[in-house]
């Protein structure tokens, strides 16, 4: 077992570049606006990082780039650019700098920025432009009396997930598995989150009545599931320490995501689920998970 001898900045840049295939697929489905969003978010994050640390060389550590890319990818393509900039600013300042910089933050910076914009400007995020209409998760969330089976025939649904999002998710699944294969991220975090999301969905799936929560396959390939599972939950800074706590943490985020998607007011609750999970980290760190005492 040979670990890649990479430095922290190299790791960050590797993660950032592995987001690019997903960004490309998203551009194909949602148009060039998502590219613009990503560029604005990355630019604002870098500027905020430089101004807060007064050190232009901070750009080379790559963490602000990853944060900016995650924000650009998770925000809907039709959002006004000033909101993207606000999300980036909030991510770096409220998500990272106030805690003392890289490595000390409790909450995932990208999710802090995203959640802030989501809470402050809900109409800009949940209402998509007229051409694409509502997202599949929106239809699921506000379906009223229709069954899930009927809802899944709405134009917002694709072949097996949400229209467009399914292939973006497949792209993130691919690059995420690449990172897992090279041991950049541990395998149990994404798997824990996906199982935590899909298993309850499978248990409560009754082939699509009006009270159903939606099929597990749909949940796995809708919204930002794969992006969150491979790029947000695996952020080492905001994850707990021991393996057992990490599995609990990831599974909990998966469950929270399903609960918010099915019963919450917001269509996609991954950001809130992640922030909720982050808030549990100090508690999870206190659990003594089989502290093996030295034997020799």
Task: Find the shortest distance in angstroms from Cβ 110 to another protein.
Answer: 15
State whether residue 128 is helix, strand or coil.
Answer: coil
Closest among 28, 29, 4 to 162, alpha carbons compared: 29
Q: Which is nearer to another protein, 27 or 106 (CB)?
A: 106
Q: Which is nearer to another protein, 123 or 290 (CB)?
A: 290
Task: Find the shortest distance in angstroms from Cβ 236 to another protein.
Answer: 4
Task: Find the shortest distance in angstroms from Cβ 284 to another protein.
Answer: 13
For residues 144 and 13, what is the distance between their CA atoms, to the nearest angstrom?
44
Q: Which is nearer to another protein, 163 or 284 (CB)?
A: 284
Tell me, rounded to whole angstroms, the distance of Cα 296 from its chain centroid: 42
**How many Cβ atoms sit within 10 Å of the Cβ of residue 195?**
18
| Interface positions with another protein (CB under 8 A) | 3, 6-11, 61, 101-104, 236-237, 239, 241, 291-294, 296
Closest among 104, 103, 96, 7 to 51, alpha carbons compared: 96
The contacts found for 48-56 with CB under 8 angstroms, 24 or more apart, are 48/88, 48/89, 48/91, 48/92, 48/93, 48/97, 49/92, 49/96, 49/97, 52/92, 52/93, 52/97, 53/97, 53/101
Which DSSP state fits 229? I
Q: Which is nearer to another protein, 93 or 198 (CB)?
A: 93
Task: Find the shortest distance in angstroms from Cβ 246 to another protein.
Answer: 9
Task: Find the shortest distance in angstroms from Cβ 141 to another protein.
Answer: 35
Q: Which is nearer to another protein, 31 or 101 (CB)?
A: 101
Residue 265: both structure tokens together: 């007011």
Backbone angles phi, psi at 157, to 5 degrees: -90, 145
Task: Find the shortest distance in angstroms from Cβ 4 to another protein.
Answer: 9
Q: Which is nearer to another protein, 9 or 149 (CB)?
A: 9
């Amino acid at each position: 077992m040979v670990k890649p001898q990479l430095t922290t900045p190299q790791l960050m840049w590797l993660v950032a570049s592995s987001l690019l295939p997903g960004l490309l697929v998203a551009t194909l489905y949602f148009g060039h606006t998502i590219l613009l969003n990503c560029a604005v978010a990355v630019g604002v994050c870098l500027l905020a990082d430089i101004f807060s640390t007064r050190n232009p060389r901070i750009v080379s550590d790559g963490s602000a780039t990853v944060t900016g890319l995650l924000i650009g990818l998770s925000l809907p393509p039709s959002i006004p650019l000033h909101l993207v900039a606000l999300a980036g600013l909030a991510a770096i300042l409220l998500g990272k700098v106030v805690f003392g910089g890289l490595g000390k933050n409790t909450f995932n910076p990208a999710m802090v920025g995203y959640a802030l914009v989501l809470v402050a400007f809900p109409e800009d995020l949940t209402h998509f432009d007229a051409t694409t209409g509502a997202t599949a998760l929106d239809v699921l969330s506000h379906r009223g009396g229709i069954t899930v089976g009927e809802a899944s025939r709405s134009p917002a649904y694709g072949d097996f997930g949400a229209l467009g999002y399914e292939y973006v998710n497949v792209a993130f699944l691919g690059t995420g598995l690449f990172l897992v294969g090279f041991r950049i991220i541990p395998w149990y975090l994404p798997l824990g989150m996906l199982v935590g999301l899909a298993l309850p969905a499978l248990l409560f799936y009754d082939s699509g009545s009006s009270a159903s929560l939606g099929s597990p396959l749909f949940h796995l390939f809708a919204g930002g599931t794969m992006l969150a599972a491979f790029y947000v939950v695996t952020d080492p800074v905001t994850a707990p320490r021991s393996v057992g706590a990490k599995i609990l943490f990831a599974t909990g985020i998966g469950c929270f995501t399903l609960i918010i998607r099915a019963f919450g007011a917001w269509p996609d609750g991954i950001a809130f689920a992640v922030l909720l999970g982050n808030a549990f980290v100090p508690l999870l760190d206190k659990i003594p998970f089989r502290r093996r005492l030295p034997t020799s």
